[in-house]
């Protein structure tokens, strides 16, 4: 496995592979890798002849400076894990390599980034689009893999690919969870023992919501989930939105859409966790 730090080296390496007719799969990450990331890597390895993964903590998508400062970083361990899985090429650029000058591009995602994470983390998805478009430009992947844990991010990236008329196919991958149901996240390692103990309630409440009869109204279900999670002193629901999976806009009745998701963000002390579940 090769590890490269510059865009020029990466372009050269990928060009060689493309010339040999190899199909390129790409898994962008911010590192501190866990089994969720590994599931994306394994899918890419299975689908493509050549898999590239990147480790880059992108400053432009952090609206909270402390979150950026505290974000876990362990590149050596990550690289060893990627090598063990059989990844072909890892890209670990510096901030200056990705942003030799400030990226002033402003994307317009219409209504899909005005809700949920977009509303609570101003500028977040613009930063995501900046970095992912730059990485796509450098890697030129045929397929790119993203986790459904970041449900809204997938919608944003699909929209960006459409706007920029890119050829890459976006492959959504299912959420990987710990044995107690907590969605794996690099931020989980920042939780103290009491917080970690409480966090699985997020998925329990979502699962309970999924089991409710359709006679329960959307608003009653919403209140039920918020109430159940907020009853735990360690947890504070920031939003719970029951939305149409394509438009990401809230629905007020079960008949409004055939594909309905519940998307949640919960504050656990200074840490924010997100999760989602299909409700219809
Ligand atoms: P991150 O390193 O947090 O930027 O995540 C890199 C990729 O891994 C994104 O596409 C995430 O959606 C995905 N990912 C993170 N956590 C999980 C998980 N628990 N299950 C599946 N995919 C995940």
Q: Is any atom of ligand 1 closer than 6 Å to the C-beta of 43?
A: no
Q: Answer yes or no: do 161 and 268 share one domain.
A: no
Q: Answer yes or no: do 148 and 191 share one domain.
A: no
Q: Answer yes or no: do 107 and 246 share one domain.
A: no
Q: Residue 233 is part of which domain span?
A: 186-273
Distance 11 CA to ligand 1 centre (A): 24
Pair of tokens at residue 187? 């931020």
Per the DSSP assignment, residues forming a β-bridge with 170 are 144
If you ran DSSP here, which 8-state letter would residue 30 be given? -
Atom of ligand 1 nearest to the CA of 31: 2
Considering only CA atoms, which of 260, 217, 266 is closest in space to residue 240? 266
> Does residue 280 sit within a domain?
no
> Does residue 179 sit within a domain?
no
Q: Answer yes or no: do 107 and 205 share one domain.
A: no
Q: Answer yes or no: do 152 and 39 share one domain.
A: yes
Q: What is the mean pLDDT of residues 21-36?
A: 98
Considering only CA atoms, which of 129, 140, 54, 62 is closest in space to residue 97? 54
Pair of tokens at residue 30? 């911010």
Please say if the pLDDT value at position 97 is more than 90: yes
Max Cα–Cα distance, the chain, nearest Å: 58
Q: Answer yes or no: do 49 and 121 share one domain.
A: yes
CA-closest residue to ligand 1 atom 22: 147
The per-residue pLDDT for range 100-131, each reduced to its tens digit, is 999 999 999 999 999 999 999 999 999 999 99
Q: Answer yes or no: do 75 and 156 share one domain.
A: yes
Q: Is any atom of ligand 1 closer than 6 Å to the C-beta of 175?
A: yes
Please say if the pLDDT value at position 214 is more than 90: no
37 classed as catalytic? yes
d(CA 83, CA 98): 23
Please say if the pLDDT value at position 280 is more than 90: yes
Per-residue confidence band for 66, with pLDDT thresholds at 50, 70 and 90: very high
Q: What is the mean pLDDT of residues 262-275?
A: 97
Q: Answer yes or no: do 194 and 166 share one domain.
A: no
CATH code where residue 250 lies = 3.30.1300.10
d(CA 207, CA 54): 33
Is the torsion defined by CA of 84, 85, 88, 92 positive or negative?
negative
Whether pTM exceeds 0.95:
yes
What rounded mean pLDDT belongs to the chain? 97
The per-residue pLDDT for range 143-161, each reduced to its tens digit, is 999 999 999 999 999 999 9
Q: Is any atom of ligand 1 closer than 6 Å to the C-beta of 124?
A: no
Close Cβ partners of 273 (under 8 Å, ≥ 6 residues apart): 182, 183, 185, 187, 188, 199, 202, 265, 266
d(CA 213, CA 118): 30
CATH code where residue 118 lies = 3.40.50.620
pLDDT at 85: 98
pLDDT at 201: 98
Please say if the pLDDT value at position 246 is more than 90: yes
Structural domains of the chain, count? 2
Task: Label the pairing between strands 24-29 and 50-55.
Answer: parallel
């Amino acid at each position: 496995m090769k590890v490269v730090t510059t865009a020029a080296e990466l372009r050269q390496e990928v060009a060689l592979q493309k010339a040999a007719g190899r199909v390129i799969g790409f898994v962008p990450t911010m590192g501190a890798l866990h089994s969720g990331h590994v599931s994306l890597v394994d899918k890419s390895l299975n689908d493509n002849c050549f898999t590239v993964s990147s480790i880059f903590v992108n400053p432009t998508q952090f609206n909270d400076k402390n979150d950026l400062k505290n974000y876990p970083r362990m590149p050596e361990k990550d690289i060893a894990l990627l090598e063990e899985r059989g990844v072909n090429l890892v890209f670990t650029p510096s901030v200056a390599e990705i942003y030799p000058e400030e990226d002033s591009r402003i994307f317009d995602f219409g209504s899909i980034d005005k809700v949920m994470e977009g509303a609570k983390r101003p500028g977040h998805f613009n930063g995501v689009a900046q970095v992912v478009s730059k990485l796509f430009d450098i890697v030129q992947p045929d397929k790119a893999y993203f986790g459904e844990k970041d449900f809204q991010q997938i919608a944003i990236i699909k929209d960006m690919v459409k706007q920029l008329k890119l050829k890459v196919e976006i492959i959504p991958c299912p959420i990987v969870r710990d044995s107690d149901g907590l969605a794996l996240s690099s931020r989980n390692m920042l939780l103290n023992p009491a917080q970690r103990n409480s966090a699985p309630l997020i998925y329990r409440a979502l699962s309970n919501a999924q089991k409710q009869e359709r006679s329960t109204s959307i608003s009653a279900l919403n209140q039920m989930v918020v109430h159940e999670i907020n009853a735990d002193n360690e947890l504070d629901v920031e939003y719970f939105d029951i939305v149409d999976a394509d438009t990401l806009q809230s629905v007020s009745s079960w008949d409004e859409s055939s594909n309905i998701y519940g998307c949640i963000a919960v504050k656990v002390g200074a840490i924010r966790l997100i999760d989602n579940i299909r409700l219809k």
